[in-house]
Structure 1
Amino acid sequence: MASVAPHYSPEAFKFMRGLKRNNDREWFNTRKAIYEREIKAPTLALITAINEAMLRFAPENVQPPQKVAMRIYRDIRFSSDKRPYKRNQGAWWACAGLEKTSGGGFYFHFGPDEVVIAAGVYMPEREQLLAIRRHLEIHHKEMRRLLNSKKLRSLLSEFEGQKLTRPPKGFPPDSPAMDLLLCRQWGVSAHLPPSAATTPTLLKEIVKRFEVAAPIVALLNAPLVATKPRKPLF
């Protein structure tokens, strides 16, 4: 008998809705066992299954599940918002060699209001931003072709992040790539209802979007990664 694909239970959805209303340590600590069983364990199982699929189309972004899973705890040291917990359980697949930077990768989160599936570069560092813009100035036609793919547009939408109002320094105002150079982030995302997380089709919904977005991630990472073989993870 075939095993059911990893997904979350209705109890997980109930926990996330409760956390949204009761974002405090006392509430969380009395229910930590529920978090470990209904949120953390299924997340690691889901990541493992996604990793297996990604070996086919984005092996450079496959990471150990414990590194992909994001902490539920917020860093509140320098924030005026002292709520201790995030309102979603996230996962981030960084590219090999860019784990400690903001290079291109794949993202998923499950929360009380929605499921988010995304891929691209969200907060590049200053040097990365310049490198990506220089790369896109040369490869702008390829980037547009990828973004305008009929299949991609049926599954994902382009980021609507803030853009510059004038050409970035060092680039000609009449550059044919200017629409892309004005961006501060590049990528695509999809927002699904939270109920999508509680069905066995969750894995399929994530993988098919990651796969169609993989060429965009690879193009954005091209100027950021060294061309050297990667050590095997397993």
Structure 2
Amino acid sequence: MDLPFLLKFLNNLAANNNKAWMDANRADYHRARATFTALVQELLHGLQRFDPDLQGITPSDSMFRINKNDRFQQSDEPYKNRMGAGMGRGGRHSPWAGYFIAVEANGQTWVGAGKWRPEPASLARIRQEIHYNGAEFHELRQAPKMQQHFPDGFEGERLQRPPKGYDKNDPDIEWLKLKDFFVSQSFTDAELLAPDFVPRVLASFQAAQPLVQFLNRALEGE
């Protein structure tokens, strides 16, 4: 995999984020995307060894488009400055919890796992699962490997008040207020280019697998 070229392309794209530049550098884009595809394939191959839910998932199922979605655009730039993939049951846009990677130049690469901003019905199921199985939830989030790979814990927003149906004195109320159940880890450019990058990412994903399984069990409504 030519990861140095991928980073170089993304760095140049960030400095020239417009259609004219992309059209003039289309061959480089395809070369960079081929490199990212190979990276995602290698990660999927490793993931499928320990998470059976990913059997049969391919890079094309997982990779996000580089074009920005007009509904969410906050600038005039037509392209994302990163290449990303969501590796989970059903692919990148599935409702299930899964594993994610975004490669971006200048130390902005990250990997993550879990469920970001679930729909209200899904969020209600996750909260119910935590309420019913709090001990299991705390055991998995406090596991040594989770603490090692994701020391910052859960990211995202939380409610100011208890969610409807839960008592403010519930011992798990601060966790029940969460809107996102997602952990992530950042990598510098040097770490991305190091020979052990893929094994490190897979170790992080494996550490997060119990969280992904817990969330998906909740989302299944079992």
The AA in structure 1 aligned to 2:183 is: V
Q: Does 1:74 align with 2:68?
A: yes
Query: Contact 2:81–2:104 at 8 Å: present in 1 too?
Result: yes
> Does residue 27 of structure 2 align to residue 33 of structure 1?
yes
Give 2:155's match in structure 1, choosing from 160, 163, 167.
160
**Residue type matched to 1:57 in 2?**
F
Inter-partner Cα distance in structure 1 for 2:207 and 2:74: 38
Q: Match of 2:127?
A: 133
Matches within 5 A, 1:137-216: 137-156=131-150, 157-216=152-211
Change (3 A) 1:77 1:182: closer
CA distance in 2, matches of 1:124, 1:169: 16
CA positional deviation for 1:121: 0.7
Report the CA distance shift for 1:149/1:64 in structure 2 as closer, same or farther (over 3 A).
same
Distance 1:116 1:144 in 2: 24
Give the aligned CA root-mean-square deviation in angstroms.
Answer: 1.9
Deviation at 1:95, TM superposition (A): 2.2
Q: Does the Cα contact within 8 Å between 1:101 and 1:125 map onto a contact in 2?
A: no
- How far is the alpha carbon of 1:103 from its aligned partner? 2.7
Report the secondary structure of 1:222's partner residue: helix
Equivalent position amino acid for 2:33 in 1:
K
Q: Which amino acid aligns with 1:15?
A: F
CA deviation after TM superposition for structure 1 residue 155, in Å: 1.4
Q: What residue number does 1:52 align with? A: 45
> For residues 48 and 175 of structure 2, what CA distance do their matches in structure 1 show?
29
Query: Structure 2: which 5+ residue stretches go unaligned?
Result: none
Q: After the TM superposition, which segments of 4 or more aligned residues of structure 1 sit over 3 Å from their partners?
A: 77-80, 98-102
Distance 1:9 1:94, change over 3 A: closer
Higher helix share: 2
Instruction: Please give the alpha-carbon distance, in whole angstroms, between the structure 2 residues aligned to 1:90 and 1:99.
Output: 10
Structure 2 residue aligned with 1:106: 99
Query: Is residue 149–residue 185 contact of structure 2 (8 Å, CA) maintained in 1?
Result: yes
State the identity %. Answer: 26
Contact 1:102 1:122 in 2 (8 A): no
Match of 2:8 in 1: 14
1:158 alignment partner, SS class: coil
TM-score, normalised to structure 2, is: 0.91
Is structure 2 residue 219 aligned with structure 1 residue 224? yes
* Residue correspondences, number: 219
Per the normalisation by structure 1, the TM-score is 0.86
Going from structure 1 to structure 2, the CA distance change for 1:80 and 1:215 (only over 3 Å counts) comes to closer
Moved more, 213-222 or 191-200: 191-200
Q: Deviations over 1:28-70 (max 9, x none)?
A: 1111111211x21122212222222112221213421101111
**Cα distance, 1:215 vs structure 2:** 0.5
Q: How far apart, in 1, do the equivalents of 2:128 and 2:187 lie?
A: 34
